[in-house]
């Protein structure tokens, strides 16, 4: 929705009409004041989780993969499930920051910063598992092509999806990190100007790369962000497609499916938005930012969930159909086993969370009820984790030769590491909302100015409005800067 027909009022993404200074003050508050009790409680819990992760990982590396519940039939279970899960989580961030930027979706402004942060932290969690799941993690560097080496030279196997993963994920992480940091620069400048105390000033000074809010800077900035957005956009599709090929290129019934790439991408965005919703509701309530993260934000994210959830459900149906229609006995048995075998409970849990739960969002009352949204978002997270578990474990535990059939039972270490990865994620995220502007100040200001322009309409197109509105905050920041002196 680039342009609106005459007479229609542009939807308001910020409640009330705060002054620009007020916006800065609101968003900078958590960084300058003390956080609420809730933050401390959450942080303590997250920290415990992180410690658990460290302990478990040490135990794992000291003893060997045997401490997990894996066996000759099931070579992957929680490890790769968690990996795919976390990679998936990441996708919402990139989607919001890149694609929605290209489409000039202004509602993203309040949420993109935290969403991007979430992406980075999620990818960090994900990156942990390929390392941990190796039998000999100390030789992990074998999977990087390093020449010249003394082995002749010895190369990596470019046919192996695991090698593609290495490239995909490292690229993904780099781009996301750069994009995120770039978005932070103007805000760092603002903070630098507000900062009291030498150290803060120095830190923010360095981080803001000597930003001066001149028009020239802004226009270049705009271009760079667009370019980066262009670079990031294909990643949204490519990364999870490649991850899905870990399975699609194998010959296992349940893995060997051509629909995996789109199916996984949809699933990734679905789970990602689920997580964004969870996080935003948490921050919104704990940091009382209701003004900037409005019900309308939550509402539109619910709609995205509804859409992607439906795509995922369609993919499930397709899998069953092709299994039946393809007539491959192994494939057919696999899907019968999926629905009736020893892991059926997981399958139905998955259906409940990923197929039925999002359908609630057809109703506006549910989309506008924070409690309900939160509950569903949790369900989505659970459901998507189980989806990966079903795909991986159920396919492996009963493959071609019945003599090789077995069962996977998780051990405490399996569960401990899963919990621990959440510990790592939330530790990072909580630190982020405590010490960094978790909402893009300058972008919000853009929206605010638009809204004021809306109040007395002008011929300005929204596209340029973003840019036109921008110098103001810098100016404002400048004034505050003088006050500080």
Q: Which helix or strand (DSSP H or E) is residue 222 part of?
A: helix 215-248
Count of chain residues binding another protein (CB under 8 A)? 60
Residue among 163 and 182 whose Cβ is closer to another protein: 163
Quick check: helix, strand or coil at residue 69?
A: coil
3-state DSSP helix/strand/coil percent for the chain, to nearest 5?
A: 75, 0, 25
Determine if 336 is a binding residue for another protein (CB under 8 A): no
Report the residue number, 60 or 229, with the smaller CB distance to another protein: 60
| Residues numbered 221-250 forming contacts with another protein, rule: CB under 8 A | 246, 249-250
Considering the complex, state which of residue 62 and residue 196 has its C-beta at the smaller distance from another protein.
Answer: 62
Q: Which value, in Å, is the radius of gyration of the alpha carbons in the chain?
A: 24
| Distance from C-alpha of 3 to C-alpha of 361, rounded to nearest angstrom | 27
Task: Indicate the residue among 16 and 135 with the shorter CB distance to another protein.
Answer: 135
Nearer to another protein, 138 or 345 (CB): 138
Candidates 186-194, 207-215, 327-335, 465-473: pick the segment binding another protein (CB under 8 A).
Answer: 327-335
Task: Verify binding: residue 415, another protein, rule CB under 8 A.
Answer: no
Smallest separation, CB 402 to another protein (Å): 4
Q: Which stretch binds another protein (CB under 8 A): 31-39, 156-164, 222-230, 310-318?
A: 156-164
Contacts of 160-164 with CB under 8 Å at 24 or more apart are 161/242, 161/245, 161/246, 161/249, 162/130, 162/246, 164/242, 164/245
Minimum distance, C-beta of residue 145 to another protein, in the bound complex (Å): 10
Q: Are 296 and 345 in contact, with CB atoms under 8 Å apart?
A: no
Considering beta carbons, is residue 252 or 295 the nearer one to another protein? 252
> Is residue 73 near another protein by the rule CB under 8 A?
yes
396 counts as binding another protein under rule CB under 8 A: yes
Binder of another protein out of 1, 9, 329, 339 (CB under 8 A): 329
User: Both tokens of residue 207?
Assistant: 């981080």
Token pair belonging to 367: 């989309």
Contact flag: residue 4 with another protein (CB under 8 A): no
Q: Cα 64 vs. chain centroid, distance in angstroms?
A: 31
Residue 168 engages another protein in binding (rule: CB under 8 A): no
Q: For helices 215-248 and 462-469, give the axis angle rounded to 10 degrees.
A: 120
Binding-residue pattern over the window 179 to 208 for another protein, x denoting contact by CB under 8 A: ------------------------------
Closest CB to another protein among 218 and 330? Answer: 330
Largest Cα–Cα separation, the chain: 79
Tokens coding 409: 């039972």
Per the CB < 8 A criterion, the answer to whether 379 and 386 are in contact is no
Contact with another protein (CB under 8 A) among 76, 211, 347, 385: 76
Q: Per-residue x/- mask for another protein, residues 111 to 150, rule CB under 8 A? A: -------------------x--xxxxxxxxxxx---xxxx
Query: Which contacts qualify for 247-253: CB closer than 8 Å, 24 or more apart?
Result: 247/391, 247/392, 247/395, 249/161, 252/395, 252/396, 252/399, 253/323, 253/328, 253/330, 253/331, 253/333, 253/334, 253/395, 253/399, 253/400
Query: Please, are residues 77 and 408 in contact by the beta-carbon 8 Å criterion?
Result: yes
Is residue 7 within the footprint of another protein (CB under 8 A)? no
Q: How far is the CB of 138 from another protein (least distance, A)?
A: 4
Counting Cβ atoms within 10 Å, is residue 141 exposed (0-12), middle (13-18) or buried (19+)?
exposed
| 166 near another protein (CB under 8 A) | yes
Task: Examine residue 327 and tell whether it contacts another protein (CB under 8 A).
Answer: no
Q: Which one, 166 or 169, has the nearer CB to another protein?
A: 166
Q: E strands within 268-401?
A: none
Cβ distance to another protein smaller for residue 164 or 221:
164
Q: Which is nearer to another protein, 49 or 205 (CB)?
A: 205
Using the rule CB under 8 A, which residue among 175, 301, 399, 444 binds another protein?
Answer: 399
- Summary count for the chain: helices (H), strands (E): 19, 0
Task: For the CB of residue 388, give the shortest distance to another protein in the complex, in Å.
Answer: 14
* Only segment of 26-34, 279-287, 301-309, 401-409 that touches another protein (CB under 8 A): 401-409
Per CB under 8 A, which region of 212-220, 370-378, 404-412, 414-422 contacts another protein?
Answer: 404-412
Answer whether 10's CB lies under 8 Å from 107's CB.
no
> Using the rule CB under 8 A, is 352 a contact of another protein?
no
Residues in contact with another protein by the rule CB under 8 A: 61-66, 69-73, 75-76, 130, 133-143, 147-157, 159-163, 166, 246, 249-252, 329-330, 333, 396, 399-407
């Amino acid at each position: 929705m680039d342009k609106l027909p005459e007479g229609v009022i542009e939807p308001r993404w910020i409640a009330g009409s705060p002054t620009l200074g007020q916006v800065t003050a609101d968003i900078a508050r958590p960084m300058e004041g003390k956080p609420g009790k809730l933050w401390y409680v959450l942080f303590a819990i997250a920290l415990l989780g992180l410690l658990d992760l460290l302990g478990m990982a040490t135990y794992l590396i000291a003893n060997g993969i045997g401490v997990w519940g894996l066996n000759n039939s099931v070579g992957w279970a929680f490890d790769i499930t968690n990996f795919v899960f976390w990679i998936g989580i990441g996708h919402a961030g990139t989607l919001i920051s890149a694609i929605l930027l290209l489409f000039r979706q202004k509602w993203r402004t309040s949420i993109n910063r935290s969403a991007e942060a979430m992406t980075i932290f999620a990818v960090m969690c994900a990156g942990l598992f390929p390392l941990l799941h190796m039998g000999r993690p100390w030789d992990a560097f074998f999977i990087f092509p390093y020449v010249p080496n003394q082995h002749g030279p010895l190369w990596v196997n470019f046919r192996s999806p695991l090698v593609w993963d290495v490239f995909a994920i490292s690229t993904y992480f780099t781009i996301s990190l750069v994009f995120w940091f770039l978005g932070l620069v103007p805000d760092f400048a603002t903070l630098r100007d507000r900062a009291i105390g030498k150290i803060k000033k120095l830190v923010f000074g360095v981080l803001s790369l000597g930003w001066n809010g001149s028009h020239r800077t802004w226009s270049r900035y705009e271009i760079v962000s667009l370019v980066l957005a262009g670079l990031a956009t294909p990643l949204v599709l490519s990364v999870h497609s490649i991850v899905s090929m870990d399975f699609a290129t194998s010959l296992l019934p349940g893995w060997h499916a051509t629909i995996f790439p789109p199916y996984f991408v949809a699933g990734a965005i679905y789970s990602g938005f689920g997580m964004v919703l969870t996080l935003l509701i948490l921050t919104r309530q704990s940091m009382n930012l209701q003004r900037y993260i409005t019900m309308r934000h939550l509402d539109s994210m619910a709609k995205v969930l509804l859409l992607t959830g439906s795509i995922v459900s369609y993919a499930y149906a397709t899998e069953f159909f092709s299994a039946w229609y393809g007539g491959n006995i192994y494939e057919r048995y696999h899907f019968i086993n999926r629905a009736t075998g020893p892991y059926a409970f997981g399958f139905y849990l998955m259906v409940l969370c990923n197929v039925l739960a999002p359908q609630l969002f057809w109703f506006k009352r549910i989309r506008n009820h924070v409690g309900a949204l939160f509950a569903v978002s949790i369900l989505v997270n659970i459901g998507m984790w189980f989806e990966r578990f079903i795909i991986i474990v159920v396919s492996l535990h009963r493959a071609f030769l019945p003599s090789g059939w077995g069962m996977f039972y998780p051990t405490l270490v399996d569960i401990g590491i899963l919990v621990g990865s959440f510990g790592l994620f939330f530790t990072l995220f909580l630190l982020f909302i405590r010490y960094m502007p978790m909402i893009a100040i300058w972008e919000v200001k853009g929206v605010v100015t638009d809204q004021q322009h809306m109040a007395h309409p002008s011929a300005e197109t929204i596209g340029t409005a973003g840019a036109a509105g921008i110098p103001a905050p810098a100016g404002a920041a400048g004034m505050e800067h003088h006050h500080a002196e």
